Chain A
Amino acid sequence: MKKTTLGFLVPLLCCNIGFAANEIGITNLRKLTDSGDNIAPSFSPTDNNLIAFTKQKYNGIYTLQLDNNRRSNGAASGQSVVDAPKSGFGFVWSPDGKAIVFRAGETGSTHAGLVDINNKQQTNLSDQSSDISIPVIKDGKVFFTKDGVETQKELLSNAARRSANSGVSVAQNNGRILIGGSQISKDGIACFFPKVSPDSQKISYECMDGLYVYHISTNQTISLGAGSNAQWSSNSAKLVYEQPIDNGHDVVKSDVFIVNADGSNKINLTEGIDQIVRRPSLSPDGKKLAVDVNGDIYVVDLVGVN
């Protein structure tokens, strides 16, 4: 892995970069953690100062409040809300920002769960099963496949309850993305990691050959090109994602992009920054961007975004 000196951050900390009108860019970078093992930040959908993240190897889920003190000291460690192994990959906030839905365990012994982030009380969304897909939330329901069978749970009062078979399901099953049981991803290539937009009208997903957005109303699939770890903006109009470059062994560079859901107006937010900037997430007001760099969580202000 390329050694990150964070030297590039210094100018950003001391002085904002000027942007032309309508130009999108980042400024005022703050380091939130410094333990070197924190990754994959995800803003609360309702709180511009609350971030969830995970640790190396996706073990556990933590939350972090962006108060002024921590911003200046950059020494927050976060609060553990889920300690289950491997629960940190693909976790998703509930729309009201009060809970996080996750999958934990491994093939052969895995389950889906929901945690109330205030009291840390967990609710199992499934029993221990052999195979459970990453849960997604759409139309107020949690969808996942359990041993290949589509399952849905309704999100009510910060807990998920069994739902009648209503709504159109979204799931990943053996490298395929399914909506209502029908495959929307290409044949012959593995696709994975579906993420439903907050308005439940669009789905982003990754395939081995790129990043895609599927528009449910039009049945249209748009290729965004190379990219990984996409996150929706709260108004479902944009996505942020990373575009890592590797040498076949390790990631040697990664830029963060923002793009409209129709694939237009793709902008490299970290162009010219010689750092490995990973796994971006937009705050609900669209004014902050959280990323991980060299194992720590950073937040920058985003300017020029509508």
Chain B
Amino acid sequence: MKKLNVLYVAILSVICAPTYASLAGKKIGVDPGHGGCDPGAVNSTYSVRESDANLSTALSLKKYLEADSANVAITRTTDTRFDSIPCPTSDLTKRANFFNSEQVNYTISVHHNASSSSSPNYTVVEVQDYGNGSTDCDATSGKLAYAVVNRLKQSTGLSTGSGCSGKPGVHAQNLAILRETGMPAILTEVSFVSNNTEAQKLQKTDYLNSNGWAIYAGLADFLGQTPISIAGNSGVSRAKSLKLLLDKFGISSANAGFNSYRFGESITIPSDVNSSTSYYDYIVTGYNKGIVSGNSGSFSPDRAVNLAEFLTMIVRAIPIPLNNPSYAEYPYGQGDWYYSYAKAAYNAGIIGNSNYDFFGALDEASMNALLNSAYEYFMGSKSGISIYAKWTQQYADIDVYLYDPVSGNNTEIQYDSNYTVTNMSALTRTNGIVYYGKPSTSWGGNLDYDSYGGNGQQPWSGLGEERITVDSLMLRRPGKYSIIFCHYDWGKNPASATVEWWGIKAGRNINIGGQNFFTPIEKGKCRYTGTLSTN
């Protein structure tokens, strides 16, 4: 009989607070097309002028850019066509010279389209066509245009026009504001003023604002930044809040691992989560790790997150068990869907004993304060321990156990030279095994998510995973928890399975060098892999 000593507590993940400089240091040229005596296209049925729609959309764009710390040079803020000589003498060259002089990083000219027919209605973003087959389709302008048109597709709900190869919705045309500016430049044709349905929408402030936000968000996507919420400076989008959370806790989006299937449940990424956006990996990771969930078919990545939603994400991410009978009551919100999360957050010291506005937009400062409190809980002495495991052998059925010998009447774990546990039955008869329990339905000494075996609620995906977390309130301190993997024998299971696993204690990966372990287990055997100290 051999006993492993206390395992490897390697502190490696130095979790640095990320910076979100957003668009600070960038200067953006915004040009609301037409204006004054030049109304652009006009829908006479609904008295909608393109110049007005351009201006409203551009002013919204400016608002969001400035809220995200960008400098903005704008060619007009009123219904004006600049020049001291009446139309048709005009000012496109001045607009370009203004942007060139100001040395803006990007030029965005906001226009709406029109057709002699009232039928067409789609969104398109123009880049420069120099003639002779030379365009900006594949240049920086083309990439920016593609990011913007993808956002405009969402905000307008329209299809895209054709044009540049591989970039649906990006089209090349020889236009003055694109040609005469020295920096990457795009011209958005948001939608068709000549379409009567669209013209009615273009009279609505919210619609124009959402299109202005979409252009801003496309620029943010292009720059690899997560856009602020459409609610503006006071709100943080759900997508960005998830990114902040994952980054704060060092949960890598590249470490999602499980793709489209999590803890026995098939995951479908909602259709409003655009795979080309900068936050896509974060949302996929959020779903994979159970930090966000739901089958409503939408994630609403751009909507401002509220306190109820953000606390839910935090509690799930750490995770903090729900419904611990030892929890103090949180006196507000009983009966609301978020209550158990608020209660857990309250008992973890993340929120105080106050009646917060759980449904108002959460600003970034408040969000960071919550994250700091959660991080303190996560990293501090109150944090629990978690073991994550996954395997890919079909039909393998692995369970993870933590065994506390003190709670188990001091029954010692016994194992052979291959670390195969030889007294598993005896151990399971004690109170020392940290075992099943689903946080949403019952309280246990742990959280146990299991994709196959265990609680038996899962369809088969061809791979498996399990996470077991011991809440800080249930941990014995000081204590030593033995980690055991069991590979059950249901007949058709593979003879051996290899479990890839890692452990987290006080927010840190316990594995040496941060590398996951790979532990082979024979069918019908339980393997002792080490002991985790809670000191």
Give the interface size bracket for A toward B: 35 or more
Question: How far does the alpha carbon of A36 sit from the alpha carbon of B93 in the complex, in Å?
Answer: 19
A250, B89: Cβ atoms closer than 8 Å = no
With A107-B105, A130-B25, A209-B83: A251-B93 Cβ-Cβ less than 8 Å: yes
Q: Is A62's CB within 8 Å of the partner chain B?
A: no
List the A side residues contacting B3 at CB < 8 Å.
Answer: none
Partner of B84, one of A90, A130, A192, A225: A225
Partner of B101, one of A37, A105, A192, A209: A192
Q: Is B98's CB within 8 Å of the partner chain A?
A: yes
Question: How far does the alpha carbon of A110 sit from the alpha carbon of B104 in the complex, in Å?
Answer: 11
Q: Which residue of B lies closest to A105 (CB)?
A: B103
B88, A108: Cβ atoms closer than 8 Å = no
List the A side residues contacting B131 at CB < 8 Å.
Answer: 36
Question: How far does the alpha carbon of A103 sit from the alpha carbon of B100 in the complex, in Å?
Answer: 11
Q: Is A59's CB within 8 Å of the partner chain B?
A: yes
B176, A250: Cβ atoms closer than 8 Å = yes
Q: Which residue of A lies closest to B141 (CB)?
A: A57
B130, A37: Cβ atoms closer than 8 Å = yes
* Chain A nearest CB, measured from B495 CB (Å): 60
* Chain A nearest CB, measured from B209 CB (Å): 23
List the B side residues contacting A134 at CB < 8 Å.
Answer: 101
With A225-B84, A249-B176: A107-B104 Cβ-Cβ less than 8 Å: yes
* Chain A nearest CB, measured from B401 CB (Å): 55
Question: How far does the alpha carbon of A245 sit from the alpha carbon of B84 in the complex, in Å?
Answer: 13
Q: Is A180's CB within 8 Å of the partner chain B?
A: no
Taking chain B's interface residues, is the majority helix, strand, or loop, or is none over half, making it mixed? loop
Partner of A245, one of B75, B90, B103: B90
Partner of B92, one of A207, A229, A244: A244
B182, A248: Cβ atoms closer than 8 Å = no
Q: Is A256's CB within 8 Å of the partner chain B?
A: no
With A1-B176, A107-B27, A210-B84: A175-B182 Cβ-Cβ less than 8 Å: no
Q: From residue 126 to 175 of chain B, which have CB atoms closer than 8 A to chain A?
A: 130-132, 174-175
B84, A228: Cβ atoms closer than 8 Å = no
List the B side residues contacting A103 at CB < 8 Å.
Answer: 103
Question: How far does the alpha carbon of A189 sit from the alpha carbon of B131 in the complex, in Å?
Answer: 35
* Chain B nearest CB, measured from A108 CB (Å): 5
* Chain A nearest CB, measured from B38 CB (Å): 5
Question: How far does the alpha carbon of A230 sit from the alpha carbon of B71 in the complex, in Å?
Answer: 28
With A208-B76, A226-B85: A250-B38 Cβ-Cβ less than 8 Å: no
Q: Is B376's CB within 8 Å of the partner chain A?
A: no
Partner of B93, one of A86, A174, A210, A229: A229
Query: Interface 1/0s, chain A 30-69, versus B by CB < 8 A?
Result: 0000001100000000000000000011110000000000
Partner of A209, one of B38, B71, B84, B179: B84
Q: Is A246's CB within 8 Å of the partner chain B?
A: yes
Q: Which residue of A lies closest to B187 (CB)?
A: A249
Q: Which of A89, A228, A248 has the most CB of B within 10 A?
A: A248
* Chain A nearest CB, measured from B54 CB (Å): 10
List the A side residues contacting B272 at CB < 8 Å.
Answer: none
Q: Is B34's CB within 8 Å of the partner chain A?
A: yes
* Chain B nearest CB, measured from A176 CB (Å): 11
Q: Is A271's CB within 8 Å of the partner chain B?
A: no
With A36-B132, A108-B26: A208-B103 Cβ-Cβ less than 8 Å: no
Q: Which residue of B lies closest to A248 (CB)?
A: B34
A193, B97: Cβ atoms closer than 8 Å = yes
With A106-B103, A107-B27: A242-B75 Cβ-Cβ less than 8 Å: no
Q: Which residue of B lies closest to A209 (CB)?
A: B82
With A106-B105, A175-B102, A226-B85: A248-B40 Cβ-Cβ less than 8 Å: yes
Q: Is B7's CB within 8 Å of the partner chain A?
A: no
List the A side residues contacting B476 at CB < 8 Å.
Answer: none
B101, A251: Cβ atoms closer than 8 Å = no
Q: Is A88's CB within 8 Å of the partner chain B?
A: yes
List the A side residues contacting B84 at CB < 8 Å.
Answer: 209-210, 223, 225-226
* Chain A nearest CB, measured from B479 CB (Å): 54
Query: Interface 1/0s, chain A 181-193, versus B by CB < 8 A?
Result: 0000000011011
Question: How far does the alpha carbon of A108 sit from the alpha carbon of B97 in the complex, in Å?
Answer: 19
Q: Is A296's CB within 8 Å of the partner chain B?
A: no
Interchain Cβ contacts under 8 Å between A and B, 5 examples: A56-B130, A107-B103, A193-B101, A225-B85, A226-B83
* Other A-B pairs, 12, CB within 8 Å; known A89-B101, A89-B182: A37-B130, A89-B100, A106-B103, A107-B25, A107-B27, A206-B97, A206-B98, A208-B91, A209-B83, A242-B93, A246-B93, A249-B176
Listed in ascending order, the chain B residues whose CB lies under 8 Å from chain A are 25-27, 33-34, 38, 40, 71, 73, 75-76, 82-85, 88-95, 97-98, 100-105, 111, 130-132, 174-176, 179, 181-183
Closest 7 interchain pairs by CB? Answer: A192-B101, A58-B182, A208-B82, A210-B84, A246-B92, A107-B27, A226-B85
